[in-house]
Amino acid sequence: MTEILRARRGIPKFARKVLAGAPVRIVAFGTSLTLHSHCGQRLGARYLDPLVPMAASATRNARIELIAQGLEGFPSWWAAHRVRSDVLPHAPDLVLLEFAHNDTYVPAIPAAMHAIVDKIREALPTSEIAIIILAPQGSAARGPSETMLAHERVAEYYGLPSFDLATFAERLVADGRTTWAQLTFDGIHHTELATQLLGEPFARAFVELLRVSAQNAVERAPVAPARSPIARADRASMRQFVGGDRKWTVGPPSPQMLKSRTIAAFVDEIATANEAGASFSFAFRGMHVQVWALSLGGALDVAVDGAPAQRLDVPASARPYWGLVSLATDMPDALHAVEIAVAQLPIVLGDLFFVGELEPAAVR
């Protein structure tokens, strides 16, 4: 399976545990192609379906667990803000990273992917990581795209294994074994046919990686962290700032709101302002902070470090969507005080995404 797999340093710790029959846990952290379903609709993860059964059969280890943590509409830049909440609590033995499909802005990829890898390695030094490369239709038809190459360079830097399913999918189409209309039901998300055509070859390549890793299981010093500028990326629920304030209503998204495909990736809980003048504030040590807002219109007044407040309009849309509002960006990496007040209704906010650390006194 060399056409899919580049083993590099392999995953020796994981391979040894699997082959010894020990329980192991894999977290697949990626886009909607790694998300099993949304509102009852099967979206992706077809390529993951054969992984556990085939690996368990090949290694005679029935104690392999797979947790799919897909993020709809997310590139690696925003995924870096969710490592602490979506990956680390599961304490995986292996993390599979799949974000090339959504990474359309190539210059942001190195900082984002290095941040993800470094955050996992710092918190879980015994965990190992591999990169999976999927891509939109046509992206790899004439060779690896710049996005794919950027992910491969990160894999090369750390010696991480990578699985190039993007080039493999294009080869299947070029050879007449399938079409993109058969492989996807909407041009993006995989059909059941992908379980066989992509998932089974991927699972065989994974088993091969286990074999190669076990044979060449030489302990090597870890590669030094790349010191990504967004290594401190994180997020926080709005309940932390406005919970208990009668001027705000905080709770899970409504069933109607959940129909927005990307909502689960952008919000933990929804904070709806009940009146103009509703406010919150926090102390923040870092460089920038943004908030997800629903495009219903309205406006926020934002004051940073005691400076006069700046008016930020939230755009209105006939078909509401979640978008970013930058509260404070490109600041010196220092302690800052941020105060936000609702200037005009309606205002519906999701999580804060930031690079830095919230101070313990990050309350109203």
The model's pLDDT over 44-58, given as tens digits with 9 standing for 90+, comes to: 679 999 999 999 999
For residues 34 and 107, membership in a common domain is answered with: yes
Mean pLDDT, residues 28-34 taken together: 95
For residues 48 and 169, membership in a common domain is answered with: yes
Residue where a domain terminates, one of 215, 247, 271: 215
- The per-residue pLDDT for 259 is 61
CB 32 within 8 A of CB 44: yes
CATH of residue 260: 2.60.120.260
Provide the domain limits for residue 166: 5-215
For residues 52 and 196, membership in a common domain is answered with: yes
Separation CA 297–CA 58 (nearest Å): 55
* 15-27 tens-digit pLDDT: 999 999 999 999 9
Largest CA distance in the chain: 65
Q: Give CA 238 to chain center in angstroms.
A: 20
CB 299 within 8 A of CB 311: yes
- The per-residue pLDDT for 364 is 43
Separation CA 311–CA 36 (nearest Å): 40
Q: Give CA 35 to chain center in angstroms.
A: 11
User: Residue 264 pLDDT more than 80?
Assistant: no
- The per-residue pLDDT for 266 is 66
Separation CA 298–CA 322 (nearest Å): 14
261 confidence band (pLDDT: 50, 70, 90):
low
Cα torsion 193, 198, 203, 208 to 10°: value is 150
260 confidence band (pLDDT: 50, 70, 90):
low
* 79-126 tens-digit pLDDT: 999 999 999 999 999 999 999 999 999 999 999 999 999 999 999 999
DSSP β-bridge partners for residue 162: 6, 131
Residue 36 burial (10 A CB sphere; 0-12, 13-18, 19+):
middle
User: Residue 262 pLDDT more than 70?
Assistant: no
Q: Domain for residue 116, yes or no?
A: yes
Amino acid identity for residue 351 in this structure: D
Residue bearing tokens 């304030």: 245
Residue 211 burial (10 A CB sphere; 0-12, 13-18, 19+):
middle
For residues 258 and 189, membership in a common domain is answered with: no
For residues 254 and 168, membership in a common domain is answered with: no
Q: Domain for residue 201, yes or no?
A: yes
The pTM for the full model equals 0.93
Residue where a domain terminates, one of 186, 215, 244: 215
Mean pLDDT, the chain, as a whole number?
Answer: 91
For residues 208 and 126, membership in a common domain is answered with: yes
- The per-residue pLDDT for 363 is 44
- The per-residue pLDDT for 360 is 77
CB 127 within 8 A of CB 96: no
For residues 19 and 138, membership in a common domain is answered with: yes
- The per-residue pLDDT for 223 is 85
User: How many structural domains are present in the chain?
Assistant: 2
How many Cα atoms sit within 13 Å of 210 on the Cβ side?
26
For residues 74 and 24, membership in a common domain is answered with: yes
* 284-306 tens-digit pLDDT: 899 999 999 999 999 999 999 99
Would you tell me how many other CB atoms lie within 10 Å of the CB of residue 17?
Answer: 19
User: Residue 265 pLDDT more than 70?
Assistant: no
Q: Domain for residue 228, yes or no?
A: no
* 135-191 tens-digit pLDDT: 999 999 999 999 999 999 999 999 999 999 999 999 999 999 999 999 999 899 999
Separation CA 228–CA 208 (nearest Å): 32
Residue where a domain terminates, one of 182, 215, 248: 215
C-alpha distances in Å from residue 302, one per residue of 290, 325, 339: 11, 11, 6
For residues 28 and 164, membership in a common domain is answered with: yes
Q: Which of 84-93, 246-255, 327-336 has the lowest mean pLDDT?
A: 246-255
